[in-house]
Structure 1
Amino acid sequence: MADATSGSSVSVDDLEAARERLRQAEAAVDDYGEDEAKRVTEAYDAATDLLSEYVESATGTGDFAAYVEFEERFVSLVEGLPDDLPTREAFEEANELLDRRRLSEKHFEQARNVLAPAREAAETLDERAAAREHLRETRRTVRRRLSTLDDEIQARERLVDLGSADLDAPTEELREPIEAYNDAVTDAFDRYRREASARDLLGLVSATDAYPLVDYEAPPASIRAYLDEAAVGTEPLPTVLDYAGYSRSKLTHYVDDSDRFRQTVGTNETYLSRLDATPLTVGWPPSVAGRLRRRAEELVAVVARFADESVVARARTVRDLTFRADYDHLRRAAVARDELTDAERDRLASGAVEAELSDRRAERERLRAALDADAPE
C-alpha cells in the first residue's frame, strides 16, 4: 500500500483571513454607501474612458476637431453629475485642468491623478468583488483539502487495521488449496482448449453468462454464428487460429469459404487468442468469505462442464475454506502480508501512522468547524 502523505494547502487562518478581507472591503463600501459608490464608479469610468479615447487625437497640434469634441464631452459629463455626488469636486478640478487651449498627454495624466478620490471609491467595489471571489475560492480549497484528508485518513485507518493483523498466522492453509485449484483448472482448461472443438469451447464460454462471478467476455455474435455453421467449427481453437495465418491460396484447402473465414475469424482473432483459464482462477489474497463462497459455487458448476471430478473437487475445497472458523483471521493476515510494505511496517511499529492519523483527524475537525461557521456567500 503506497503512502499518501501530502502537505496541507489551506488552514483555518487562511479562511479567517479571507473573511476578514471581505469584512474590510464591505466596510469600505459602506463608508461611501452602496449606491453612492456605484454612482461614483459610473462617473469615474465614463471620465477615464474619455481620457483614454482622446489622449492621442486631442493632444498637441493634432486633430482640432477631436480636441473640441473631447472638451465638449468632458464638460457635459461633469456638468451632468449630481450636485450631491461624493467626490464631485475631483471631477470639477479635472475639468478645470483640461480647460485650456492646448492639451498634452501630461494634462491627461494629471487629470487621472486628480480623479484619484473617485478612483478610490470605484476600487472599493472592485476590492469587494475580489474579496468575495477570494473567500469563495478559499472555501473551495478547504473543501478540496477536506476531501484529501478523508482519503488520507481512510488510508491510515486501513494501515492501522492491517497492522493489527496476525502476520504469523498460517496463511498457507488458504494459499495452498487455492494454488492447487488454480493449477488444476488452468491445466484442464488448456487441455480442453486444445482438444475440444472451437464450437464447443465458445459454447462453454457463452454458458458462463449464467454465472456473473465467472467473468468471461461473451463471444462476439458473428464468430459464434460462423463456428456453429461452418465445418471448421469442429476443429480445435488452436487449429482455427493456425488457419488464420495461412495464405489465401493455402486456406482454400482447409475451409469452404476462405473469404468468410478471413472476414469473421480475422476480425475476432485477438478475442480468440486471449481465451484462457484466468476467469476461472481465484486471486490472492482471496475475497471475503461470502463472495468467495458464492464464486466458488459458480466455479464448481462451470468447471464440471469440461474438467474431471478431481478438478471439481478442488473447486469444492476452495469453497469449503470459507466455512472455516478462522477464515477471516487467515484472510486478514494474508491481505496484510500482501499489502503492507516494509516501510509501512516500520511506520506502524514506530507509531508514525497513528500520529499522522491523529493529526489529520484534528485538522479535518478544525477545517469542518471553520467551514460550518462560515456563512456561504
Structure 2
Amino acid sequence: MAGTVPAADVTVDDLAAARERLRQAEAAVDDYGESEARRVAEAYEDATDLLTNYEDTATGSGDFAAYVEFQERFVNLVEELPDDLPTRESFEEANDLLDRRRLAKKHFDRARDLLAPAREAVEALDEREAARGHLRETRQAVRRRLSTLEEEIRYRERLLDLGAADLDAPTERLRDPIETYNSAVTDGFERFRREESARDLLDLVATTTAYPLVEFTPPPESLRAYLDDAPLGSEPLPTLLEYVGYSRSKLDHYVDDPDRFRTHVATHETYLTRLDATPLTVGWPPPEAGELRRDAEELVAVVARFADESVVSHARRVRDLALRDDYERLRQSAVARDELAEKERDRLASGAVEAELADLRAERDRLRSALDDGES
C-alpha cells in the first residue's frame, strides 16, 4: 500500500490516481467474481497452511505418520474443491506433485509455485482493500488540506480588510481617553488596595460577579469568611502580604492565631498578590463599538464603588467613544497599525496578497469539486 499522502501536498491528481487504483483493483476482483475470489483465497490459505505445518515433519525420512496424514489432508482439500472453482487446476497440479513416495522441501517449494494462480486471487482481494484504504486516506488528506486552505484564505482576507484601513487616521482620539482612563483606574484601584481594609477590597471584588464583563476571579470563600471574622480583616492587603512572609515566632506578635492565618491567608498568597486593576482596564486596540459600550457600562458601575468622580468620569468618556461616528474607522486603523508588520504592508502594496488569495481560492475550488465528484 502506498504511503499516506501529506495533506500539505495533496492534489486533484492524487485523488484521481487513488480512484483509478481502486477501479483497477475492483476490476481484478471482478475478473474472478466476488464469491469465487473469496473461495479461491480460502482454498489457497488452507493449502499453504498445510504446506507450512507439515513441511518439517512430512519430508525426508521423518515422521511417516505425518507424511501420510499430510497427503490425505491435501488430497481431501483438492477433491472437495468445486469443479468450476477458478484456478482449480493449480491445486490439482500441486496435488499431483505431492503424490510421491518421499517428499523433500523442494517439493513443498514447487507446490507453492504451482499455487501462484490462486495466490493472485488473494493478492487481488488484498490490493482492493489496500486501494480502498488509500482512497480513504487521500480523501482525508484532501479534507485536511481544505481546512488549511480555509484558514489561509481567511487570513489573507483579513489582511486585505486591514489594508483598506486608513493608517493615517488620528487614532489618538481613541487612544488618549483610553490610556487616561487606564492610568486613572489603575491608580485608583491601587490606592484602594493600599489604604482600605482587605475585607472591603475582597467585598468589592466579590460584587463584580454581578458584572460578568469585568473579569475578576472571585475571592475564595474561606478567605472572605476568615477576614470577615478576624480583626486582621481591617488591615489593608499589603499588610497581610507582609505578614505572610513572617516567621511563625514573629507572626505570633501580630496575629491572634498564626496557624489559622496561614491556613486561610498564606495559602492564597498568589491570588492576593495578583489582585490588581487589570480587569478594569480597556485593551488596545479597543473592541468593536457594541462590545466597548457594554464593557464600559459595567466598568462605570464597578469603578463608582471605589474610585472618586474623576475616575468615573474617565470611564464614561471611554464608554462614549463608542458613540462617535468615526469610531469604527479609527478603531480599524488602530487594529491595522497593531497587526500589520512592515512585511505585510509591503505584500499588500505589491498585490502579492491578492494574488495568493486568488491561488488559494482556485486550489480550494478544485479540491472541493474533485471531492464532491467522487462522493456524489
TM-score, structure 2 as length reference: 0.96
Aligned to 2:159: 159
1:285-296 matched pairs, under 5 angstroms: 285-296=285-296
In 1, Cα distance between equivalents of 2:167 and 2:201: 42
Cross-structure match for 1:129: 129
- Report if aligned partners of 2:7, 2:141 keep a CA contact under 8 Å in 1: no
1:93 aligned residue: 93
Alignment of 1:207-286 (within 5 A): 207-286=207-286
Show the 5 A alignment for 1:34-73. 34-73=34-73
TM-score w.r.t. length of structure 1: 0.96
Amino acid in structure 2 at the alignment position of 1:165? A
- Asked if 1:18 corresponds to 2:18, the answer is yes
Distance 1:178 1:141 in 2: 47
CA contact (8 A) 2:181 2:315 kept: yes
Query: What residue is the counterpart of 1:300 in the other structure?
Result: 300
Match for residue 347 of structure 2?
Answer: 347
Alpha-carbon offset, residue 7 of structure 1: 8.5
Unaligned runs of 5+ in 2: 1-5
Determine the structure 1 residue equivalent to 2:188: 188
CA distances 1:261-287 after superposition (whole Å, capped 9, x unpaired): 111112211111110000011100000
Alpha-carbon distance between aligned partners in 2 of 1:161 and 1:64, rounded to the nearest angstrom:
87
Is the 8 Å Cα contact of residues 174 and 321 (structure 2) preserved in structure 1?
yes
> Any idea what SS the aligned residue of 1:364 has?
helix
Q: Which moved more, 1:192-201 or 1:50-59?
A: 50-59
Deviations 1:277-308 (A, max 9, x none): 00011100000001011111111111111111
Equivalent position of 2:327 in the other structure = 327
CA distance in 2 between partners of 1:271 and 1:118 (Å): 74
Deviation of the 1:63 alpha carbon: 2.9
Deviations along 1:248-267, one digit per CA (max 9) or x if unpaired, are 12212211211111111122
Matched-pair contact (CA < 8 Å) for 2:41–2:122 = yes
C-alpha offsets along residues 44-85 of structure 1, whole Å, 9 cap, x if unaligned?
111111112222232333333322222221111111111111
2:7·2:145 contact (CA, 8 Å) conserved in 1? no
Q: Which amino acid aligns with 1:305?
A: R
2:97 is matched by which residue type in structure 1? Answer: L
Partners of 1:276 and 1:345 lie apart in 2 by: 37
Amino acid at match of 1:224: R
Of stretches 56-65 and 114-123 in structure 1, the one that deviates more from structure 2 is 56-65
Alignment RMSD (CA, Å): 1.4
Where 2:375 maps in the other structure, the secondary structure is coil
- Give the whole-Å Cα distance in 2 for the aligned partners of 1:179 and 1:79: 95
1:204 maps to what in 2? Answer: 204
Task: State how far apart, in whole Å, the 1-side matches of 2:7 and 2:141 are.
Answer: 13
**Take 1:105 and 1:196, find their aligned partners in 2: how far apart are those partners?**
97
Find the residue that maps to 1:185 and give its secondary structure: helix
Q: Percent identity?
A: 74
* Counterpart for residue 338 of structure 1: 338
- Measured against aligned partners, the alpha-carbon deviations of 1:203-236 in whole angstroms (never above 9, x if no partner) come to 0000111111100000011101111111110000
Alignment-derived partner of residue 3 in structure 2: none
Q: How far, CA to CA, are the matches of 1:58 and 1:159 in structure 2?
A: 77
1:354/1:273 CA distance change after superposition, 3 Å: same
Amino acid at match of 1:199: R
1:77 aligns with 2:74: no
Structure-1 residue corresponding to 2:170? 170
Residues 325 and 135 from structure 1, CA distance in 2 versus in 1: closer, same or farther, beyond 3 angstroms? same
Residue matched to 1:3: none
Q: 1:342 to 1:59 in 2, by over 3 A?
A: farther
CA distance in structure 2 between the aligned counterparts of 1:106 and 1:87, rounded to whole angstroms: 22
Q: Distance in 1 between matches of 2:266 and 2:100?
A: 89
Provide closer, same or farther for how the CA distance between residues 61 and 344 of structure 1 changes in structure 2, counting only shifts above 3 A. farther
SS at match of 1:109: helix
Q: What is the identity, as a one-letter code, of the residue corresponding to 1:13?
A: D
CA distance in 1, matches of 2:8, 2:257: 68
| CA distance, structure 1, for counterparts of residue 190 and residue 53 of structure 2 | 84
Mapped contact 2:7–2:142 kept (Cα < 8 A): no
The 2-side partners of 1:62 and 1:239 are apart by 95
Distance 1:189 1:62 in 2: 97
Q: Where does structure 1 lack aligned partners over 5 or more consecutive residues?
A: 1-5
Name 1:148's counterpart in structure 2.
Answer: 148
2:178 and 2:57 map into 1 onto residues whose CA distance is: 89
| More displaced 10-residue stretch of structure 1: 245-254 or 186-195 | 245-254
User: Alignment partner of 1:187: what SS?
Assistant: helix
Q: Deviations over 1:303-324 (max 9, x none)?
A: 1111111111111111111111
